[in-house]
Structure 1
């Protein structure tokens, strides 16, 4: 079962040196301008279960910038996936809006080598056993896909189940 999330380019700390792309949501823009940019992204595509930040460490850490985006997601019944940025205000904003929400617990391929990916997958597995649920995030690198594919084949024997992200989002909404 595959779910699609729409990544929304958001301002990183080193913007514009590091540019997420056209119609990036920026902390210096008025909420209406960022909402116009969000609408632009939302209109490019359909069938997504939620939205996610693309880059955006500065944007997701800024309450006044994030709040209108969260409200809009709530209004549209969209979940929000946070890539795990340490300073993100998303968790508290999502709870206040009762938006289905998930946050990455582990970045699986921050170091894209077989050994490191396997180590991060083991860490993800440990968290899942400890908490009952854990969320990993990875890029679509060939090495990542290869290692994750191999890992998913071992989950049954480890007593674990892979679930869609919206399942994790709904669980967080109800807890």
Structure 2
């Protein structure tokens, strides 16, 4: 009996031993060891990201090149200025422009589309180079250089846009670096401006001004009149500029009376200088004070050379177009103005398809 009791007591003591809790210190040691193991596992991959990279880049060289060409077109670089070789794109820079003015927006566009791209630029004796890589593979090389000779420049400004988005779309669908002049404070002005800017078009504020024959000829809302004092003229200009985003310059809508008054034109030019805008004088009157006053105030300005579509006729447009090209070849540059008439759209498409020996450029290029 005694023996049995001892054995039971022994069994009770043993069972109590097996139920003892693990000391907290031991748990801490286990967690510490696990942390050390995880740390070494994590740091063993540090500096070796290529192990996680795919073998094939997710973007092809063809896609990158197409994107680069589109970005250059949006900055006014025409196909005439791009040469494609087996190894690179060669971009002939326009006179007065630096490579950085195009490389910066191009890099921004590429990074926005493909953040994983590696972009490198450096200077060479031939010009500025840009190299695009992805995961060690070269996808694109671009050389920006200044050619020894420049083609004559032609700028075409399409006036009176802002009323109809479909009409503006027809003009933009031509796919050429035209300059678009938008009337302010019209129903669709801002909508058209936003879309045109997105597609890389240069925009002007087509500022309404008093014509001879007013009120039979009404320049529309926001117009400048000779009867206005300085404060009212400035307020109207400010209102129109604020209503039209992305403009780089201003040209006059009508204005055959207003533009003959140097004191009133000076107020306009002071405002343009304050906003950093250039001025295109549409020359709706031969007695315009636009260019002379702009020079006095310190505003960059230029005059229109040819109205292309006064007759609203396709063949007459082509006659005026030949005159514009002739002036460009003689002087190195020329500016034409037209309007979104159906006959003009047809004639403009014909004219732009046959550019020979001249280059169509945004208006600001003719000012450099």
Is the pair's TM-score, using the shorter chain for normalization, greater than 0.5? Answer: yes
Matched, 1:37 2:261: no
Is 1:6–1:51's contact at 8 Å kept on the other side of the alignment? Answer: yes
The alpha-carbon deviation at position 97 of structure 1 amounts to: 2.5
Distance 2:363 2:320 in 1: 18
More strand by share: 2
Is 2:256–2:288's contact at 8 Å kept on the other side of the alignment? Answer: yes
Q: Which residue of 2 aligns with 1:137?
A: 337
Can you give the 5+ residue segments of structure 1 that lack an aligned partner in the other structure? none
Q: Which residue of 2 aligns with 1:162?
A: 360
The one of 313, 319, 322 equivalent to 1:122 is 322
Is 1:57–1:88's contact at 8 Å kept on the other side of the alignment? Answer: yes
Q: Which residue of 2 aligns with 1:19?
A: 218
Can you give the 5+ residue segments of structure 2 that lack an aligned partner in the other structure? 1-176, 178-200
Distance 1:22 1:89 in 2: 23
SS of the aligned residue for 1:135 comes to: strand
Is 1:100–1:166's contact at 8 Å kept on the other side of the alignment? Answer: no
RMSD of aligned Cα (Å) = 1.1
Count of residue correspondences: 168
SS of the aligned residue for 2:251 comes to: strand
Q: Which residue of 2 aligns with 1:49?
A: 248
CA deviation map 1:134-159 (0-9, x unaligned)? 1000001121122112111211xx21
Distance 2:283 2:226 in 1: 19
Is 1:102–1:165's contact at 8 Å kept on the other side of the alignment? Answer: no
SS of the aligned residue for 2:334 comes to: coil
Matched, 1:72 2:264: no
Distance 2:340 2:302 in 1: 19
Larger Rg: 2
Distance 1:147 1:99 in 2: 33
CA deviation map 1:21-75 (0-9, x unaligned)? 1231110110111111111111112101111111111001110111011111011
SS of the aligned residue for 2:253 comes to: strand
TM-score of the aligned structures, taking structure 2 as reference length: 0.45
Distance 1:75 1:39 in 2: 11
The alpha-carbon deviation at position 17 of structure 1 amounts to: 1.8
Distance 1:96 1:9 in 2: 23
> Larger relative CO (CA 8 A, sep 6+): 1 or 2?
1
The alpha-carbon deviation at position 82 of structure 1 amounts to: 1.2
Q: Which runs of 4+ in 1 moved over 3 A?
A: none
TM-score of the aligned structures, taking structure 1 as reference length: 0.92
Q: Which residue of 1 aligns with 2:309?
A: 109
The one of 73, 81, 84 equivalent to 2:280 is 81
CA deviation map 1:91-128 (0-9, x unaligned)? 10111223221211000000011110000000001100
Is 1:50–1:80's contact at 8 Å kept on the other side of the alignment? Answer: yes
